Amino acid sequence: MLTIFATPKAFRGHINVIQRNAIKSWSLLPIKPEIILFGDDQGAAEVAREFGLRHIPKVARSDSGAPLVHDLFAQAEQLSQNNLLCYLNGDILLLSDFSSAVERIAREPHSLLMVGQRMDVDITEPIHFSHPDWEQNLRRQAGTTGKLRPPNAIDYFVFTKGLGSDLLPLALGRRGWDNWFLWHARSKKAAVIDASREVLALHQNHDYSHLPDGSKGVFTGPEAQRNRELIGEWYHLHTTEDATHRLTPQGLSRSYLHPWLVIKRAWSHPRGMALLIIKLLSRPFRSDSPPA
């Protein structure tokens, strides 16, 4: 049903702990995904063997070593045995609600991209997955000390095969690539689904000591600036607020459009401006979301 792929960082110190936690949580998903680890960073091959995963060492990289999105996604699509793929960062814990969400969207006949906001949590030790209440414990921790990040904080991308082709050579893990991928999906007339209310994606907090310039390099370093140049116009950066649909317990629901988003989408896709103006005039706008 689903192929998960990721490019983990070197398995050292705290990063080693949280990446092992994340990968174990993926392997325990009820939908039993195919999992592919890309890259030749320290420990990647050994961890892939330990968990019985497929390992692809070669992926195109920037001058500083950041994986390039276009090659990573193209390889994943070529190797995947499934029509649905999921890229996610190597520090993201997935719970059983993720499987339920994937099962629901897998029935949709059209091209789609499912994303969602993440919840930040502090985890410093290996999770005891043998404990029967490990998921419930994580949910309690998220409910008491977790911090929900804003709509531009997107760490998982479930998409239909085909949307991962013809991408820009953006540096992964640097500012802008993720928000551009949402716009790319919309430019291909795919449904963009916000699953934030149905999927609890837990990001295990960490520092940025693995980067030469720390967190500054993610947002303002040379690769972040290069990403911004390649991305182009400001309206090529989308967030979960730009989603065309929300995932609810009853299934997919069309998103209500805020006036600002109507203008933004019209600017992004001028050919659709007339249709969006009609929607603006004919549909009520609401500040609450999602619709019932």
Per DSSP, the residues of 15-81 read HHHHHHHHHHHHHT-TT--EEEEE---TTHHHHHHHHT-EEE----B-TTSPBBHHHHHHHHHHH-S
- Cα gap 113→102, rounded to integer Å: 11
- Cα gap 268→278, rounded to integer Å: 16
Average pLDDT over residues 203-211: 73
pLDDT at 290: 38
- Cα gap 262→264, rounded to integer Å: 5
**What confidence category does residue 270 fall into, taking pLDDT thresholds of 50, 70 and 90?**
low
In the chain, where does DSSP find H-type helix? 13-27, 44-51, 69-79, 96-105, 134-145, 177-187, 215-220, 222-231, 259-268, 273-282
Q: What angle do CA 119, 177, 182 make, to 5 degrees?
A: 75
Q: How many CB atoms lie within 10 A of CB 81?
A: 10
Residue 258, pLDDT > 90, answer no
**What confidence category does residue 216 fall into, taking pLDDT thresholds of 50, 70 and 90?**
very low
- Smallest CA-to-CA distance from 89 within 153, 180, 184 is with 153
- Cα gap 54→158, rounded to integer Å: 19
**What confidence category does residue 234 fall into, taking pLDDT thresholds of 50, 70 and 90?**
confident
What does pTM read for this prediction?
A: 0.85
Residue 161, pLDDT > 90, answer yes
- Cα gap 91→8, rounded to integer Å: 8
Backbone angles phi, psi at 16, to 5 degrees: -60, -45
- Please name each of the domains of the chain with its CATH number: 2-235 (3.90.550.10), 257-292 (no CATH)
Burial 128-152 (b: 16+ CB within 10 A, else e): eeeeeebbeebbeebeeebeebebb
pLDDT at 173: 87
pLDDT at 265: 58
Residue 224, pLDDT > 80, answer yes
Residue 284, pLDDT > 80, answer no
- Cα gap 240→192, rounded to integer Å: 8
**What confidence category does residue 255 fall into, taking pLDDT thresholds of 50, 70 and 90?**
confident
**What confidence category does residue 286 fall into, taking pLDDT thresholds of 50, 70 and 90?**
very low
Of 55-69, 75-89, 179-193, 277-291, least confident by mean pLDDT is 277-291
pLDDT at 229: 95
Task: Give 201's strand partners.
Answer: 118
**What confidence category does residue 291 fall into, taking pLDDT thresholds of 50, 70 and 90?**
very low
For residue range 128-160, list pLDDT tens digits in order: 999 999 999 999 999 999 999 999 889 999 999
CB 185 within 8 A of CB 113: yes
Residue 274, pLDDT > 80, answer no
